[in-house]
Chain A
């Protein structure tokens, strides 16, 4: 069922829509080939073009060059003035605002909103007219893409659940353990890298894999920066990934402060490497569906993160 049933799911779908307008291009939504008229076409002929093709406007082309745009609004004005014998050249809007075919759709959304036009001709970077875009095209494309992704997701879910179905047991949990050496900046991230690959191979949704990978990597960096070493343990069952980052020293004196964005005790050499800005734990939290952190000074720290496999669409922090 693709109908979102809870507020959380609706929110996820809205976030996904916001991402899609950045990811999709104008060419993914435009209508092509584009129907055109010439400046010499009469308004009466133009009316027939609109009716026969069930469209509301066309670019005006002369000698291979786009010289204007004409719409049903222009036709209505000509009708009211009894000027159906006039030519398109007299009634068109010259030098129309265009979109590039490789622009992200979000640019088109912005232009529709700010300029109030009903349609934009689409050109390529060489200046050739390649299509036309109306507002309805955008909505239709977004809905179609969501549907495609929904089907892809169903297939992925099948793959992820497949391995569990092939193993005969009342309950199956796969457990992966990775050693993380402390202080070894050169190799920091290898454990998370291997975990990411493993989860991808299991067929888990790429967005889930990305969230687990980011949480694991931030946790791994904390182990490398602040401790003498520890381990990452990921347990995967048909519902969730349960990630633990465990070390035995030195512990976090004030967990509440450690969770504050921007709070950091990192030494300068760590900051010079682009880490230690106090965003690690907040980042982990924004990727996690559930997070638990416990620490005892002089004993060690245990971070637990749960990410549900069906929490698909949302990005970290989304």
Chain B
């Protein structure tokens, strides 16, 4: 899904300069916990987050995430936007909640990051299923 479509689906706004709206995102992840972003995403994921500090951009850079949507109408501070522009990471804003922002994109066909071995391991350990 191109960022252009993402913007349309969430009635969003672009926060960074020189943003390539033809950028393709392959799947989505909603998280406010940066360790979860690192553990449960793949390259090319679109990140939905309510956190706006510069570490969100750092985290995205490490995880190979090229675009972030800030939910609930949150606008990041200038240093976050500056760092994102330096790293070539697109920042978008959505006035909708995390749930609705993710829901609109998922409904339109943007898939999740799938299941992870670490989650399945915990699941099996607790529920004793294969």
Residues of A within 8 A of B39 (CB): 214, 279, 283, 286, 316-317
- Shortest Cβ distance from A202 into chain B, in angstroms? 17
**Which of A14-22, A42-50, A81-89 contacts its partner?**
A14-22
Residues of B within 8 A of A316 (CB): 38-39
**Which of A18, A23, A107, A275 contacts B44 (CB under 8 A)?**
A23
CB pair B109 A104 closer than 8 Å: yes
Total contacting residues, chain A, CB less than 8 A: 39
- Report B12-43 CB contacts with A as 1/0, cut-off 8 Å: 00000000000000110000111110111011
CB-based nearest A residue for B49: A274
B residues neighboring A (CB under 8 Å): 1, 26-27, 32-36, 38-40, 42-44, 49, 51, 53-56, 58-59, 61-64, 79, 87, 109, 111-118, 122
CB pair B51 A15 closer than 8 Å: no
Residues of B within 8 A of A106 (CB): 111, 114
CA separation between A286 and B40, bound complex, in Å?
A: 11
A residues neighboring B (CB under 8 Å): 15, 18-19, 22-23, 100, 102-104, 106-107, 185-186, 188-189, 192-193, 196, 206, 210, 213-214, 216-218, 261, 273-275, 277, 279-280, 282-283, 286, 315-318
CB pair A188 B55 closer than 8 Å: yes
- Shortest Cβ distance from A223 into chain B, in angstroms? 14
CA separation between A261 and B112, bound complex, in Å?
A: 23
Also in contact, A210 and B43, with CB within 8 A (given A107-B111, A273-B51, A275-B34): yes
Also in contact, A196 and B109, with CB within 8 A (given A18-B114, A188-B55, A274-B55): no
CB pair B58 A186 closer than 8 Å: no
19 A-B residue pairs with Cβ-Cβ distance under 8 Å, sorted by A, are A15-B117, A18-B114, A102-B109, A104-B26, A104-B109, A193-B62, A206-B43, A210-B43, A216-B62, A217-B59, A273-B34, A273-B51, A274-B51, A274-B55, A274-B56, A279-B35, A279-B36, A286-B39, A316-B38
Residues of B within 8 A of A15 (CB): 117
CB pair A186 B54 closer than 8 Å: yes
CB pair A196 B62 closer than 8 Å: yes
- Shortest Cβ distance from B103 into chain A, in angstroms? 16
CA separation between A135 and B68, bound complex, in Å?
A: 35
CA separation between A115 and B85, bound complex, in Å?
A: 46
CB-based nearest A residue for B54: A186
CB-based nearest A residue for B34: A274
CA separation between A68 and B120, bound complex, in Å?
A: 41
CA separation between A221 and B55, bound complex, in Å?
A: 10
**Which of A196, A283, A318 contacts B38 (CB under 8 A)?**
A283
- Shortest Cβ distance from B36 into chain A, in angstroms? 7
- Shortest Cβ distance from B24 into chain A, in angstroms? 10
